[in-house]
Structure 1
Amino acid sequence: MADALRADPTHEIRAVLVTHVDTASSAKNDIAAVRAAIDSTGHPALLAVDAIASLGCDELRMDDWGIDVIVGASQKGLMTPPGLGFIWFSAKALAVCAESDLVTPYWDWKPRAVGEQFYQYFGGTAPTHHLYGLREALSMILDEEGLPQVWQRHRRLAKAVWAAFDAWGRGTGIRLNMADPVARGWSVTSATIPDGGAGALRRWLEAEAGVTLGIGLGMAMPSEPAYQDFLRVAHMGHVNLHMTLGVLATMEAGMQALGIAHGPGALAAAAGAAVG
């Protein structure tokens, strides 16, 4: 990325777009490092971050990390039904937007941020009931629990899930998608259970235990046998430790029922990681 910016003396590159946490792979990018890399080149490109899968779950610091634009949504860490999109922008980004020849009335930030009439904040009819839900979600995050505590809860839940998969994977083909813990998001975990084990486990959990795990996204085409080797465990939003430990215990029950090879001690490891 830095090399590409250095090779752009006329500043045709307007922005660097990066996903904070990728829902499909559960990979997390170091946003502060991206900002530092941009700054090292002296290039004026904006830093725009997709935080849909990290907002309200993973530590995110717009000002401290020098982020110019953040895009978020309501349906993950903010615990509100799908339908609300959010954008935060810096003074630098607003100045660039004001000079852009690509702004259309629908995508113009100014009426969205400082609209003279209520409908302008939404480009039309306001999603009123979503706003009531969002208000309650923000109260839960900021007033009842506190944002630092919310981040810490998600970190603990993620560590519990990772510890379980590490134990299941000893001597087997079960493994986490991201080997480096630093590169894993706190909101979702993507993993492999080979030989179709992930698909079989997902189906068993839905039919026998009422638990739904996420499908693997982007790892293989649905028509390919390898598609059944991947799954995702979500631990975002309104989720606590007893829910997560319950899901892990149910997953292990499913592995036993299906004869899926897995290492021992996963639940004890998860409990220890959650409180350690």
Structure 2
Amino acid sequence: MALRRGAELGVSRSLLLRSALGAVDSSAATQVPGASLRTVSSSAPVAAADYSYEPPGSSHCFVPGPVNIHEKTRRAMMVPGQNHRDPWFSPFFSKILEDVRMIFGTSQAQTFIYPGTGTGGWESGLQNTLSPGDKVLTWRYGQFSHLWVDMMERLGLEVQVEEAAWGSGVDEAKLAEILKADTEKKIKAVCVVHNETTTGVTSDIGKIRETMDAGDHPALLLVDGVSSIGGLDFQFDKWRVDVAITGSQKALSLPTGLTVLAVSDKALEAHKTAQMPRVYYAWQDMLNNYPAGQVPYTPIIPLLHGLRASLDLLSSEGFENVVKRHHRLAEGTRAAVNGWGLKLLCEEPRWRSDSLTVIKVPEGIDSALIVKNAYAKYNLSIGVGLSKVAGKVFRIGHLGNNDEIMIASAICGAEMAMIDAGVDITPGSGIGPALKYWQETSSVIPTRAAP
């Protein structure tokens, strides 16, 4: 199975081959001054790309994970080898377990931190609360919800999959209908991808909980918040989520390598009778060690230092302000899309994601070519369309450590790359509306004097 969140630049081998810059005959493109990659035949001989040249300026990463890492966080991770059995580690780690509750919107959930990716968080949540043959209900409306379904089936669960259009979220009316029909309460868990990074859709977890409560259904609520928690509003306690999962390379603005879970008392109780085999991601091993501020195996200490720095930055900004910042960045990007005369893949406004913007390209345009042009000409990484929407959309991530000027550079680069690929847009038509929105809604940075 493809790794959960390591597939942001492709899903399958064939997609990677089509998307890779190596598929372009760069010598042919550079023989003609100003030549666009659009002029290169896809049947041209493929030569191994040489990425040894470092262009001037910064590399611009605007996929929805991995994301930009704050300089303070990068410095915090530059530590020598350290022994996690020395006395300093216990209070350091215990405080992180406590403080990471902030991003989940909880004051009481049990938190877990594992070396691993969001895929590992998925596995941990399922293994520790369910038994083989248990029935779970889930929605499939993007590549990552598809991969979670694949894991559920491989783990031996009975999976009821509700298919939805890619660009839509969980239909609460359909959920109510399914739960009402489950008179024997065979559904043990409702599993929802909160933010689907394939499609730019954020489902409404609060309304999903209201729907479950209205039907008086006892199922656990398991939520993949890998590309939302830490950047978007998430109310673990208020929505009575039972397991929520995130990953370090998303809103936490860290390298890949940590998965973080928040777990309710109800899920901990279910864990006591769950029969699914687990070893590495077993909660009990962690619970046995956490009271002493320890872990059952060697932690990734540099990433924990980075997590500490990231939590401090988010706390300093104020988490409500973090959520508002992501919304402003998303609104500016959506203003750019409107200015280009293009459409979002997510048509329903209530589901539009503040983590990323997924943009449909006109008929006859291959969105992968836009992504190639952005990287080859402007040192800009934006996301390709995945799976069902490959070639039809591209994605601009505004998750994590970003501000208006940074996202403006992504919009400018995307605008040029689209023109290179043959999209009929006027230069400045997108970035202009984005700048207007941000300028009109900006405020003075705290601790800095107003002009």
Tell me, yes or no, if structure 1 residue 186 matches structure 2 residue 354. Answer: yes
State the structure with more CA Rg: 2
Which residue of 374, 379, 386 corresponds with 1:210?
379
Measured in 2, the distance between the counterparts of 1:165 and 1:100 equals 47
Q: Are 2:303 and 1:140 equivalent residues in the alignment? A: no
In structure 2, the partner of 1:219 is 388
Indicate if the aligned counterparts of 1:154 and 1:235 stay in contact, CA closer than 8 A: yes
1:273 equivalent in alignment to 2:437? yes
Q: Is it true that 1:9 corresponds to 2:183 in the alignment?
A: yes
Match of 2:416 among 233, 236, 253: 253
Note closer, same or farther for the CA distance 1:247–1:99 as it changes in structure 2 (3 Å cut). same
Candidates 60, 63, 70, aligned match of 2:234: 60
Is 1:242 equivalent to 2:396 in the alignment?
A: no
**Aligned residues between the structures:** 264
In structure 2, the residue matched to 1:20 is: 194
SS class of match (1:219): helix
CA shift digits 1:48-100 (9 cap, x unpaired):
11000001111111011121110111110001111111111111111121122
The 2-side partners of 1:163 and 1:187 are apart by 15
Q: Does the CA contact (< 8 Å) of 1:161 and 1:189 recur in 2?
A: yes
Task: Give 1:105 deviation, angstroms.
Answer: 4.2
What residue number does 2:33 align with? none
Residues 1:165 and 2:337 are matched in the alignment? yes
- Give, in angstroms, the shift of residue 207 of structure 1: 1.1
Deviation at 1:10, TM superposition (A): 2.7
Are the equivalent residues in 2 in contact too, given 1:73–1:85 (CA < 8 A)? yes
Cα displacement (A) at 1:109: 1.9
TM-score by length of 2: 0.55
The amino acid that maps onto 1:76 is K
Question: Given the superposition, is the C-alpha separation of residues 257 and 6 from structure 1 closer, same or farther in structure 2, using an over 3 Å criterion?
Answer: closer
Give 1:153's aligned residue. Answer: 325
State how far apart, in whole Å, the 2-side matches of 1:215 and 1:256 are.
17
- Pick aligned residue for 1:73 from 231, 247, 266: 247
Q: Secondary structure at the match of 1:43?
A: coil
Q: Give SS of 2:381's match.
A: coil
Q: 1:223: which partner in 2? A: none
SS at match of 2:357: strand
Q: 2 CA distance for matches of 1:138 and 1:253?
A: 36
Separation in 2, partners of 1:14, 1:120: 32
Q: Is the 8 A contact 1:119 1:126 kept in 2?
A: no
Equivalent position amino acid for 1:196 in 2:
I
CA deviation vs aligned residue, 1:180-203 (integer Å, no higher than 9, x gap): 222111111111113234222211
Q: Is the contact made by 1:119 and 1:125 (CA closer than 8 Å) also made in structure 2?
A: no
| Structure 1 alignment gaps of length 5 or more | 221-226
Q: Which amino acid aligns with 2:396?
A: V
Percent identity for Structure 1 against Structure 2: 29
Aligned to 2:301: 128
Q: CA deviation digits over 1:207-236, x for unaligned, max 9?
A: 11100111111234xxxxxx3232110101
Tell me the residue number matched to 2:223.
49
2:196 alignment partner, SS class: coil
Given that 1:164 and 1:270 are in contact with CA atoms closer than 8 Å, whether structure 2 keeps it comes out as yes
Task: Name the structure where helix makes up a greater proportion of residues.
Answer: 1
CA distance in 2, matches of 1:106, 1:228: 38
What TM-score do you get using the length of structure 1 for normalisation?
A: 0.88
| d(CA) in 2 for partners of 1:256, 1:113 | 55
Alignment of 1:98-137 (within 5 A): 98-102=272-276, 104-113=278-287, 115=289, 121=295, 123-137=296-310
Partners in 2 of 1:218 and 1:113 — Cα distance? 39
